[in-house]
Structure 1
């Protein structure tokens, strides 16, 4: 108690008075030497883990079913379907906003216009992100031919990245005025008291399937390394996922939860 009292005194007046020795450091050393009161007994969470396993298994099976029936779905269908499950796939988000307007005063300075973003996501702190969803088979991510022994992004992927980055640019330039307008327009989609914030928004693109290895020039070529390099090139602004990436992530989450449940 003496050490704690001295540590509190130092924390309050430490900026004005420099003691000969740090009471805070002495108190922390005392806590480190003390026997921990936290037991090694695991928390009772099997029921919660089982519920999580069922949730992610449901999402995995649902996406796999959609991919099997892909030829019967339009891009608008895929956007609507993914919008229904995106909050379960990415729990950090709490709201999906559709047809989000954004002011564009740069494309033509003489005639400002309003763009429409198909889908945006809002996280628990109110931060706004952009999500772009393309139909799996209609939007390949890598070309089928080599350029100097490298696979290069397709026009569809490059176009999706540029479109998303322009949305992020216009949102950032909109600033405080945009935050107020979007908060007023989508208040019904947000928890009471939460305001939309535009602070370094990020983009998420879901499109295409992961390319399969194939024989080129008499040897098997795997696209995966080239695809990962391309993803990392845009990672500071945009996260790129294929539908196979989603399935793989879900499989890994399920395997991790099952291992935790068994232990």
Structure 2
């Protein structure tokens, strides 16, 4: 048996073996609209049959066991699985027969169904109105079902426990069973960690490709859209940041109205003011040099000066102003909003074609302002993602 996806349907493909009497019995039951129970899991009849084909002398029957709903989920037919609740599988999951049948012909969905009183989505879902089992946890559940070997060890343990006081046992069945469980748990944890590492590596590979593609097609992005995409990447690379603030208004000590375009707040409540510039036509260095030294372009100098002014004004805010900003812009976050010595963060420019002298002078520029500002070029950002990828590749 196998599971295939066809049009908007989830299909169970049943290939009958070459046992004539079994084939005849199966065929007759379908023709007479009787039910056929397979592996104590699928209750099938002609109602669900889509087609029958003979492939390499074997009869193949195709049954519809689910269909797409809401463009994102397969709704499993509960008549087939004999469940009271609805089960929905996310459509982009690689669903196979093991998602339904555990060892010893145990119906997984019916086991879950007996323990719950509501519908459930299996896979990743943002729908807060329905219960959800993430795919990784569902796979862990599948792996936790006892195998025939495990059940045999368990039976030996139970029998040994009953007769241990009356006979001389040649082995400690209880310890054998515990050793097996410990080995199984260790293996499960290794598998889970390996899946997690694969997921993380894939995540960083996606954002590396995403940023590379953005830099190739920069002209397709408006400034605001560009900033939003870069912010998403920053939040992944720097997980310490919990919140993003946009258009944060405040008054200076002299009563002037100012606002921050963007800021990031970390888990301690510390604020970083971020300036994101599209790299096109905003060079890091001026075209000319002074005594063979490179100095910042007008745009970069202006950005640095603007950040320094923001930091100066924010550092002088009263506690009342800070509390007011927290309530207005970050009320949903549980951190102490901290405006003491905020830092700046600039993402701008390209360095991939820099000469060694330009790279040297860029490092000097970054160090000069490192106490108040972090400066990354887009090539620095790519290099940082690549270094994370290399870490996973070595593990």
Q: TM-score, normalised by structure 2?
A: 0.50
Equivalence for 1:49: 197
Deviations 1:174-216 (A, max 9, x none): 031232011110234x43x3231112211100011115246xx
Deviations 1:29-82 (A, max 9, x none): xxxxxxxxxxxx9x9433322222111111111111111111222322222222
**Residue 280 of structure 2 corresponds to residue 141 of structure 1:** no
Equivalence for 1:209: 350
Give the structure, 1 or 2, with the largest relative contact order (CA under 8 Å, sep 6 or more): 1
Whose helix proportion is higher, 1 or 2?
1
Which of the residues 203, 223, 228 maps onto 1:75? 223
Gaps in structure 2 of 5+ consecutive residues:
1-185
Equivalent pair of 2:352/2:379 in contact (CA under 8 Å): no
Which of the residues 175, 184, 187 maps onto 2:318? 175
Which aligned segments of 4 or more residues in structure 1 are displaced greater than 4 angstroms?
Answer: none
Gaps in structure 1 of 5+ consecutive residues:
1-40, 215-220
Equivalence for 1:163: 306
Equivalence for 1:252: 387
Equivalent pair of 1:179/1:195 in contact (CA under 8 Å): no
Cα distance between partner residues in 1 of 2:380 and 2:293? 21
Equivalence for 1:223: 358
Name the stretch that deviates more: 80-89 or 96-105.
80-89
Equivalence for 1:128: 271
Cα distance between partner residues in 1 of 2:239 and 2:259? 25
Q: TM-score, normalised by structure 1?
A: 0.73
Cα distance between partner residues in 1 of 2:274 and 2:225? 15
Whose strand proportion is higher, 1 or 2?
2
Which structure would you say has the larger Rg?
2
Deviations 1:81-125 (A, max 9, x none): 2223321121110111111112223xxx4xx12211011111011
**Residue 243 of structure 2 corresponds to residue 60 of structure 1:** no
Matched position secondary structure for 2:280 = coil
Matched position secondary structure for 1:116 = strand
Which of the residues 318, 323, 339 maps onto 1:198? 339
Measured on the aligned residues, the alpha-carbon RMSD in Å equals: 1.9
Would you say how many aligned residue pairs link Structure 1 and Structure 2?
206
Q: CA deviation at 1:245?
A: 0.7
**Residue 234 of structure 2 corresponds to residue 86 of structure 1:** yes
Cα distance between partner residues in 1 of 2:221 and 2:301? 23
